[in-house]
Amino acid sequence: MALTIEAYFDHLKACIHPEYLLDPRARDRLTLKERGEGGVIVQEVEFSYEGDAFAINLDLPSPQLTKADRKKGEKAAPPRLFRFLDDEAKPWGKKCDFVVFHRLPVGIYAYLIEFKSNGIDGGQIKAQIDSSMNWLRSLQRIVEHYYGHSCKLSVQKFVFSSNTNPTQYLDRSGKYLKADPAIRFYHYDDLKTLSLGDLENKMIDEIQGGAR
């Protein structure tokens, strides 16, 4: 039985642990927040959107028990069965900061987004984005294997930065990374007037659904 785009979108969301979801109750607006030491917000971007959307913090650190937690008798969560999000310098430990899923009448888009400050290491960003692309492929296969349904995902890749002179990292157009022309660069200031659907990327990677 074929699923509607809306139903498949809900299946994707159902596979994500709520701890990774950002603003799950938000409507019409999506806020991406990067936190530094002590949970302090160091960067924040907000998008309006049409249709439906949700975001996950793929770069969420593993919870750490404090001394107070231990005194209360709290126990650490059991280790994950799959370690693809653990940061242990292994290939699967690389990841971008956010993955945004956006459902429109024409299909489902996934935006891979890396937040950067002034420094832009094109090779590192490409590795993080590529690894996150593999994570997306894995998620799609999980939905297919456990629910028996699949759907094409249209993927766009972005890096957001506060660098005001990124010329040496960008191609001739001044929009895409030299290290990977599929990764679109935006300065944070340029995002203030954009909605989610306004994000521009001339290159769209497609993750095709498998036949059942």
Q: What is the pLDDT of residues 66-113, one digit of tens each?
A: 666 666 666 655 555 566 666 666 767 788 999 999 999 999 999 999
Does 76 reside within a domain?
Answer: no
Q: What is the pLDDT of residues 147-195, one digit of tens each?
A: 888 899 999 999 999 999 999 999 999 999 999 999 999 999 999 999 9
Does 150 reside within a domain?
Answer: yes
Does 68 reside within a domain?
Answer: no
Give the number of domains in the chain. Answer: 1
**Would you say the pTM of this structure is higher than 0.75?**
yes
CA distance 83 to 80: 6
Domain span at residue 42 reads 5-60+84-207
Numbers of helices and strands, H then E, in the chain: 3, 9
Supply the DSSP symbol for 38. G
Does 78 reside within a domain?
Answer: no
- Report residue 105 as tokens: 């009448």
Does 73 reside within a domain?
Answer: no
